[in-house]
């Protein structure tokens, strides 16, 4: 990998400006992009190629301030080691990030960063679920990138237009691409929409066809594919960790393990984008603070009664809104606890410093 190839993996002025400031403070740094995360070890692409890297302990583990840990797709400042592992010093500001609630630790988990499109995959079989798609679309808009719904396995669907119509009527403004990774149908239409050297993040349940889609986009077998039982749409995870793959045409794909469930992290702007049709109806309410229950002149209640707004979409909106509000409250509480801990640590450092001066 030569010295000009960093630009080919998305390293542009957005990241270069911040990196210049880092170099001014710390010499010997070079930019890199995280291509995979394996617990506390990272695979990083730099001008020297792809290599293993670890975190600078004094910065990431002993800093009195909160730090951002790298995730797949991040651009980072690293010190290259030609005979060992590179050292990551800092994560550069992110252009976009896809986050979810960590179901085990109940906190924010960043799945991927710095992408242009979120490709939400759904099979046209028993795996198809409009409510789950709403959840993915909210998270995708919140990430800062554009969501695209990719309906896979059109070759085994008797009438894929039924699925397309269901999504377009439920999620206005979101583009839908029915494709077959086997026959190649719809692949060119999807590729034509994507801008040159863009980064995509793929999301969807296990067995939905993410690896097959990557192979179809690459026009070669770059990922292992597992089959699923079509009668119940069950399958194994082909992808076991998040990884960034650079295709020959310059497109970069961040593949993720299949997620049966996706718990929202704080997603206010994502809710606004995904349910802009509901917001437009609510603007017609007689009262600005309408709770959409029994108030006179409630446009939402009228839309539900007239059929303009489907009850299922309204109920799913209420469910996701409540979940997003809960996540935001948890995020704010976490920030307060973290700030208090930092202040306590800083106070102790000052106290110890004053004590050492007196002893001296």
Enter the tokens of residue 166.
């269901």
User: Tell me, what CATH number does 320's domain have?
Assistant: 1.10.40.50
What is the band of 281 on the pLDDT scale with cuts at 50, 70, 90? Answer: very high
Write out 320-344 in H/E/C secondary structure. Answer: HHHHHHHHHHHHHHHHHHHHHHHHH
User: Tell me, what CATH number does 13's domain have?
Assistant: 2.40.50.140
Predicted local distance difference test score (pLDDT) of residue 327: 72
Q: What is the pLDDT of residues 324-343, one digit of tens each?
A: 887 777 766 766 666 666 56
Location of structure tokens 């303009």: 308
Predicted local distance difference test score (pLDDT) of residue 118: 94
pLDDT surpassing 90 at residue 205: no
User: Could you tell me if 60 and 113 lie in one domain?
Assistant: no
User: Could you tell me if 211 and 320 lie in one domain?
Assistant: no
Enter the tokens of residue 162.
């039924």
SS3 for 32? strand
In a domain, 345, yes or no: no
Predicted local distance difference test score (pLDDT) of residue 67: 82
- Dihedral of CA atoms 194, 124, 314, 288 in degrees, nearest 10, equals 10
User: Tell me, what CATH number does 148's domain have?
Assistant: 3.40.50.300
Q: What is the pLDDT of residues 53-105, one digit of tens each?
A: 999 988 888 765 678 899 999 999 999 999 999 999 999 999 999 887 765 56
User: Could you tell me if 146 and 214 lie in one domain?
Assistant: yes
User: Could you tell me if 203 and 288 lie in one domain?
Assistant: no
In a domain, 360, yes or no: no
Q: What is the pLDDT of residues 56-68, one digit of tens each?
A: 988 888 765 678 8
User: Could you tell me if 157 and 66 lie in one domain?
Assistant: no
**Is the entire prediction scored with pTM above 0.85?**
no
Domain that holds residue 321: 268-333
Predicted local distance difference test score (pLDDT) of residue 241: 65
**β-sheet bridge partners, residue 121:** 150
**β-sheet bridge partners, residue 44:** 34, 51
Task: Give the mean pLDDT of the chain.
Answer: 84
pLDDT surpassing 70 at residue 258: no
Q: At 210, which helix (H) or strand (E)?
A: helix 210-218
pLDDT surpassing 60 at residue 353: no
pLDDT surpassing 60 at residue 231: no
User: Could you tell me if 102 and 82 lie in one domain?
Assistant: no
User: Could you tell me if 130 and 206 lie in one domain?
Assistant: yes
């Amino acid at each position: 990998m030569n010295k000009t190839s960093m630009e080919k993996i998305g390293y542009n002025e957005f990241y270069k400006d911040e990196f210049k400031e880092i170099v001014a403070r710390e010499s010997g740094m070079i930019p890199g992009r995280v291509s995979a995360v394996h617990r506390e070890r990272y695979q990083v692409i730099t001008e020297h190629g792809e290599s293993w890297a670890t975190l600078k302990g004094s910065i990431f583990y002993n800093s009195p301030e909160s730090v951002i840990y790298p995730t797949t797709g991040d651009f980072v400042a690293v010190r290259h080691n030609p005979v060992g592992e590179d050292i990551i010093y800092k994560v550069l500001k992110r252009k976009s990030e896809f986050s979810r609630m960590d179901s085990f630790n109940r906190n924010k988990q960043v799945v991927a960063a710095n992408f242009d499109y979120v490709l939400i995959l759904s099979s046209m079989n028993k795996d198809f679920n409009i409510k789950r798609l709403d959840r993915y679309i909210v998270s995708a808009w919140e990430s800062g990138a554009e969501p695209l719904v990719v309906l896979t396995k059109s070759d085994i669907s008797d009438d894929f237009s039924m699925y397309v119509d269901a999504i377009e009527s439920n999620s206005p403004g979101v583009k839908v691409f029915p494709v077959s990774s086997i026959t190649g149908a719809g692949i060119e239409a999807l590729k034509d929409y994507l801008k040159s050297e863009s980064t995509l993040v793929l999301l969807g349940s296990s067995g939905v066809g993410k690896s097959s889609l990557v192979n179809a986009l690459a026009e070669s077998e770059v990922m292992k594919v597992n089959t699923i039982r079509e009668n119940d749409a069950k399958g194994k995870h082909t992808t076991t960790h998040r990884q960034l793959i650079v295709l020959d045409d310059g497109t970069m794909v961040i593949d993720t393990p299949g997620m049966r469930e996706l718990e929202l992290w704080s997603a206010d702007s994502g809710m606004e984008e995904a349910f802009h049709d509901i917001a437009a109806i609510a603007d017609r309410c007689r009262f600005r603070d309408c709770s959409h229950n029994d108030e006179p002149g409630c446009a939402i209640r009228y839309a539900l009664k007239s059929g303009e707004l489907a009850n299922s979409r309204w109920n799913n909106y209420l469910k996701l809104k409540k979940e997003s509000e809960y996540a935001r409250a948890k995020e704010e509480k976490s920030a307060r606890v973290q700030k208090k801990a930092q202040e306590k640590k800083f106070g102790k450092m000052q106290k110890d410093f004053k004590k050492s001066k007196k002893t001296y």
